[in-house]
Amino acid sequence: MAPKNLETFLPDVSSPSIKQTSRVNYGKLPEDKNKQLKFISDTHVQSFDWFLEEGLPNIPNSVAPYEFEMEANNDQMRFRLEVEHIEVGQPTLESSIVCKDRRLFPSECRQKKTDYTAPVHVTFNLINLSSGESQVVTKKDLLQMPLMVMSSKCHLRGLSPEELVARKEDHFEIGGYFIASGNEKVIRLLNMNRTRRNFPLGLRRNGWKRRREGYTDAGLMIRCMDNWERTSNMNVHVTKTNEMEVVFYIQKQLFHVPMMTVVRALTSWTDLEIYREFMQTMSDEPNYDSAVKRMLKKLVKIQHHFLTQAKFLGQSFRIFDICPAWKSDVEAGQAFLKRYCLIYLNNDEDKVRAFALMARKAFRISHNTCATDDIDSPESHDVLLPGHLFQSMTLEFFESYQRSVSMIMAKEYSKQLEKGNDEVGQNMLSFAINKIGNMNQHFKYLIATGNLKTNDGLGMQQLAGIVVGAEKINFARFYSHFRCIHRGAFFMEMRATSPRKLSTAAWGFICPVHTPDGPPCGLLNHLAHTVRINVKRENTAKLEELLLEIGVKPFQANEFDVPVIIDGKQIGWIANGWRAQAVEKYLRRLKTSSSDRVPDTLEIVHCPAPENKGEAVMFP
């Protein structure tokens, strides 16, 4: 016979709890929600809250103003189109419906087989660069953004269990899903296998030898991502002569550029200063020394001033519409570097130091003095969250929308010129925006089909199967959608078994049991019940100040020093041995003591330099 109270036979732990399923009186609703059930979907809801409250309102700061000409070679017809303000509303009924309460609730969308969306109002500003005159237009309902249930703009947010039941919802409603055509859809957590953000992942791949003549199988991959989820992927390849080349991924195409050309375009440092930066801690490597000198000498044959290299990049890449036609090739090259080269770093000198760091690591991997990174380990992965995906999509959408509006205005102006009217009317911007109409296809298509439409790829390896239906066979099956994490469709067709294995680094993060049979086995896993995913990027300004105070030397290294890096940015160097160990222990102590200078989500890793020359270590 089953005991009357199951809780007395369970360990005394705060989670998980089955209190809600062992109550005697099911007719009486609890006063508050079950916190354990709320925790299940917290990652999804918090990421979408970040998108609504921080990401989307800051789109005007992250999307560059688009400059264009109404008429070629006419200084008076140069304009700049800006996204000035974005406001997200709450779901409301259609204007044709007459009622007192115009709020739209998820239960109504399920019954009517419609989408649960919120209106997005956007203000645009068109400025004449010559006269300074401007046109400001606010477009109501430019987007009908799919809205996550229980997010900050959802009408169910903050309701008690009794109020939820009155709105025809479960009293334990957890949210975290979308409603498309009356069906509940979930953006499942996806492992970004290319690499964790802003970290150069050292690998050996036989396919890299076939990518270009002279390449070796050694190289680096880095997925650069700025504060607003804009993505740019790069590779660093090592040639058979130990020289380095950088590969940029632009609109799903690969472009190979010598590393020193990029470095030269970034900085006005002399060749000696660049050489010294690249040779930090590498004085005992004659092959690397000669390789750096060869890369610099190749630029001596041409005029190797940094503006010349920026001009070369501008001439090569301005076809991607990175700057207006009237700007010089040097300005186009600088715009290219800002948009595609190590975009998480705002300072060009920091980018040069990052290239020097990657060159040292790539060389040591090619000579087997640095261990390669494990691409199948969770420590090399990053998780794609729903709010971050929407932010990346929205950035690409507004960049494309600005170009479309400018093309319509230029076409309309050319028609007016044929009629003898050479003035830009005060309603030109309003005319172009109204002609395009509302833009909902990409977001609606994503939620309805699970497939992603994108021009730039958004740094993702798969564009299908991102959204799945939230099956409600039973409640356990329903909430498992919010804790599952998938390696990606790419690995489903691979015959290799290594991606399916549970690595030692996964213990405590990935459940070793909960994975389905069949093709997804080992690829579709579930998070451990105590795992919390960091949604926001921490501010590390105080941490950088602290490191400089406790012994980190800025930018001048001795032979056995190790680099100190925060989110891909090199802060300086620290002496290997007892000093580095002392700093590591001190940071861990501050992290556990809730210091405001060390974030509690900080991952502290100490990779000491090798005691014996030639010994392979994790990071140079």
- What b/e sequence results for 347-380 when a residue is b if at least 16 CB atoms lie within 10 Å of its CB, and e otherwise? ebebbbbbbbbbbbbbbbbbbebbeebbbbebeb
Per-residue pLDDT tens over the stretch 182-222: 999 999 999 886 668 899 999 999 999 999 999 999 999 99
* Whole-number CA gyration radius for the chain: 27
- What b/e sequence results for 33-56 when a residue is b if at least 16 CB atoms lie within 10 Å of its CB, and e otherwise? bbebbbbbbbbbbbbbbbbbeebb
pLDDT at 194: 60
pLDDT at 24: 55
pLDDT at 9: 39
pLDDT at 381: 87
Helix (H) or strand (E) holding 88: strand 78-88
CA dist list (Å): 601 to 355, 532, 533, 591, 592: 27, 10, 9, 8, 10
Per-residue pLDDT tens over the stretch 139-175: 988 889 999 999 999 999 999 888 998 899 988 899 9
CA distance 303 to 314: 16
**Span 397-411, mean pLDDT?**
92
pLDDT at 357: 94
Identify the three-state secondary structure at position 56.
Answer: coil
171 closest CA partner among 47, 31, 4: 31
What are 471-480's contacts with CB under 8 Å, separation 24+? Answer: 472/184, 479/37, 479/40, 479/41, 479/174, 480/514, 480/526
Q: Tokens in use for 425?
A: 């009317």
Residue 567 has pLDDT above 60, yes or no: yes
What percent of the chain is modeled with pLDDT above 70? 92
DSSP 426: T
pLDDT at 19: 60
Dmax (CA) of the chain:
94
**Span 539-567, mean pLDDT?**
88
pLDDT at 302: 58
Q: Tokens in use for 535?
A: 């949604």
pLDDT at 611: 67
Residue 61 has pLDDT above 50, yes or no: yes
pLDDT at 34: 73
Q: For residues 494 and 257, which has the higher predicted lDDT (pLDDT)?
A: 257
List for the chain the helix, strand, coil content (%; round to 5).
Answer: 35, 20, 45
pLDDT at 380: 85
pLDDT at 241: 94
| DSSP, residue by residue, 246-257 | EEEEETTEEEEE
309 closest CA partner among 343, 261, 356: 261
pLDDT at 425: 76
Backbone φ and ψ of 304, nearest 5° = -105, 25
Q: For residues 397 and 10, which has the higher predicted lDDT (pLDDT)?
A: 397
CA distance 403 to 397: 10
| 316 in Cβ contact with 250 (< 8 Å) | no
Write the CB contacts of 195 (distance below 8 Å, at least 6 apart in sequence): 201, 221, 222, 223, 375, 380, 382
pTM of the model: 0.90
Pick the CATH number of 201-374 from 3.20.20.70, 3.90.1150.10, 3.90.1110.10, 3.30.70.1710: 3.90.1110.10
Q: For residues 559 and 116, which has the higher predicted lDDT (pLDDT)?
A: 116
pLDDT at 18: 58
Summary mean pLDDT of the chain: 87
CA dist list (Å): 48 to 39, 152, 509: 15, 8, 22
pLDDT at 3: 44
Residue 417 has pLDDT above 90, yes or no: no
Residue 26 has pLDDT above 70, yes or no: no
pLDDT at 1: 42
pLDDT at 8: 47
Residue 516 has pLDDT above 50, yes or no: yes
Per-residue pLDDT tens over the stretch 84-93: 999 999 999 9
CA distance 314 to 327: 10
Helix (H) or strand (E) holding 208: helix 207-211
Q: Tokens in use for 510?
A: 């990935």
CATH code at 538-620: 3.90.1070.20
Strand bridging mode 189-192 / 382-384: antiparallel
What residue ranges of the chain are covered by domains with CATH 3.90.1110.10? 201-374
pLDDT at 21: 57
Residue 233 has pLDDT above 60, yes or no: yes
What residue ranges of the chain are covered by domains with CATH 3.90.1070.20? 538-620
CA 457 to chain CA centroid, nearest Å? 12
Task: Name the H helices within 301-451.
Answer: 306-317, 329-340, 348-366, 386-418, 428-436, 441-449
Per-residue pLDDT tens over the stretch 299-323: 876 555 667 889 999 999 999 988 8
241 closest CA partner among 290, 275, 201, 205: 290
Residue 482 has pLDDT above 80, yes or no: yes
CA distance 260 to 273: 13
Per-residue pLDDT tens over the stretch 272-294: 999 999 999 888 899 999 999 99
CA dist list (Å): 314 to 74, 333, 352: 22, 4, 19
